[in-house]
């Protein structure tokens, strides 16, 4: 559920046992078939360290032997770079992705994929799906939704991303970094990733927008969609009068600010339903958490946008997470 108070957490695991490493990495990558081999007794070591909050975590993974298997990113987006050659992603596809040392790549998203890696150290940045989708939506003036990325980023934007990583890394890796600083660094990193890899929703809901204040209103709605907000709240946050706000939305995207809010919330509900277990979650509790108090109207809105009832989304077979 949404939270207004990201809290930094720290995990540092290491060991010398291959079976222990396999068990740990299968949990980390929501996998069921990670394999490690090629190390003799007394020569193998592994370590995994992560520091982060509910929006972004920074991870370092070092494994002293060859490993292969599957990874399930689930509702996360993962940026990664390796220190040495020898890591291949999406090995079962027609065009596997080879990780070049020091060059960030985005892991395949929304699906399980295979990998093969020689002894290596990887640095990873894990983004919560809702968080990165909201940032990308604001970047493109759209409604949040599942993202697609350019496989090979723009070189200049990639250099910008690397500079942001270098600047943000020391603070994000420190568990005692102030919350306000961590939030700023999280946002800067997410914006740089969205720009470098041209992150865009699979389906554009809103066309490109115009004025700075209109964009500010969109960004504010996306960031605060989990709160009970009114058109007056948006007006105050954006610096536009209520009439000016209504006119700007009609002119730029052809809908009202409150409909934009509703569609943003619908996409967030869908994201949660797709990743939820029907045995443990109800449509009603997810809908209410995102501000839909009238469940009948909510279901009608949902079916109009997604061409299926929310209950059908929740009953879909769970993808591995």
Query: Which CATH number covers residue 230?
Result: 1.10.10.60
Domain that holds residue 181: 130-201
Phi, psi of 123 (to 5 degrees): -110, 135
> How many C-beta atoms lie closer than 10 Å to residue 244's C-beta?
16
> At residue 227, what are phi and psi to the nearest 5 degrees?
-100, 155
Query: Is 112 inside a domain boundary?
Result: yes
Of 168, 201, 234, the domain-final residue = 201
Same domain (yes/no): 112, 136: no
**DSSP class per residue in 114-168:** EEEE-SEEEEEEEEEHHHHHHHHHHHHTS----EE--SS--HHHHHHHHHHHHHH
Can you give the pLDDT of all 321 residues of the chain as single tens digits? 344 344 578 999 999 999 999 999 999 998 888 999 876 556 899 999 999 988 899 999 999 999 999 999 988 999 999 999 999 999 998 889 999 999 999 999 988 999 999 999 999 999 998 888 878 877 665 667 789 999 888 889 999 999 999 999 999 998 888 887 888 888 889 989 999 999 887 654 444 444 677 878 888 888 888 888 899 999 888 888 888 888 888 887 788 899 999 988 998 888 788 777 788 889 999 999 898 989 999 999 998 888 889 998 888 654 443
Element (H, E) at 76: strand 76-82
Q: Is residue 157 part of a domain?
A: yes
pTM over 0.85: no
Number of domains into which the chain is organized: 3
Query: Which of these three, 172, 201, 230, is where a domain ends?
Result: 201
**CA 16/CA 39 separation, integer angstroms:** 11
Per-position b or e across 18-41, b if 16+ CB within 10 A of its CB:
beebbebbbebbbbeebebeebee
Residue 321 lies in a domain: no
Structure tokens at 114: 């295979």
138 shares a domain with 121:
no
Which residue, among 147, 135, 148, 145, has the nearest Cα to 266 in the 3D structure? 145
Residues 13 and 102 occupy one common structural domain: yes
Does one domain contain both 24 and 112?
yes
Cβ(160)–Cβ(191) under 8 Å?
A: no
Residue 4 lies in a domain: no
């Amino acid at each position: 559920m949404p939270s207004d108070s990201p809290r930094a957490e720290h995990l540092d695991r290491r060991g010398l046992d291959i079976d222990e490493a396999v068990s740990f990495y299968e949990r980390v990558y929501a996998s069921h078939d990670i394999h490690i081999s090629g190390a003799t007794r007394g020569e193998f070591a592994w370590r995994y360290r992560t520091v982060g909050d509910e929006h972004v975590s920074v991870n370092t993974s070092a494994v002293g032997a060859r490993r292969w298997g599957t990874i399930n990113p689930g509702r996360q987006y993962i940026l990664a770079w390796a220190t040495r050659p020898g890591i291949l992603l999406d090995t079962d596809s027609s065009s596997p992705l080879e990780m070049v040392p020091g060059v960030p790549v985005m892991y395949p998203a929304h699906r399980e994929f295979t990998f093969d890696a020689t002894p290596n150290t990887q640095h990873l940045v894990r983004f919560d799906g809702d968080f990165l989708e909201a940032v990308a939506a604001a970047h493109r003036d759209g409604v949040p939704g599942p993202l697609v990325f350019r496989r090979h980023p723009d070189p200049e934007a990639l250099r910008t991303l690397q500079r942001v990583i270098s600047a943000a890394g020391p603070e994000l890796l420190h568990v005692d970094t102030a919350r306000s600083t961590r939030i700023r660094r999280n946002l800067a990193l997410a914006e740089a990733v969205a720009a470098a890899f041209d992150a865009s929703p699979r389906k554009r809901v809103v066309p490109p927008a115009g004025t700075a204040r209109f964009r500010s209103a969109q960004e504010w709605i996306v960031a605060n969609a989990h709160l009970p907000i009114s058109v007056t709240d948006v007006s105050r946050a954006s610096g536009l009068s209520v009439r000016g706000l209504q006119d700007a939305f009609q002119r730029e995207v052809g809908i009202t600010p409150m409909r934009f809010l509703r569609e943003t919330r619908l996409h967030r509900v869908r994201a949660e339903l797709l990743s939820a277990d029907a045995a443990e979650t109800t449509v009603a509790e997810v809908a209410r958490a995102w501000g839909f108090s009238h469940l009948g109207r909510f279901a009608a809105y949902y079916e109009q946008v997604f061409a299926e009832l929310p209950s059908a989304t929740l009953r879909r077979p769970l993808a591995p997470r």
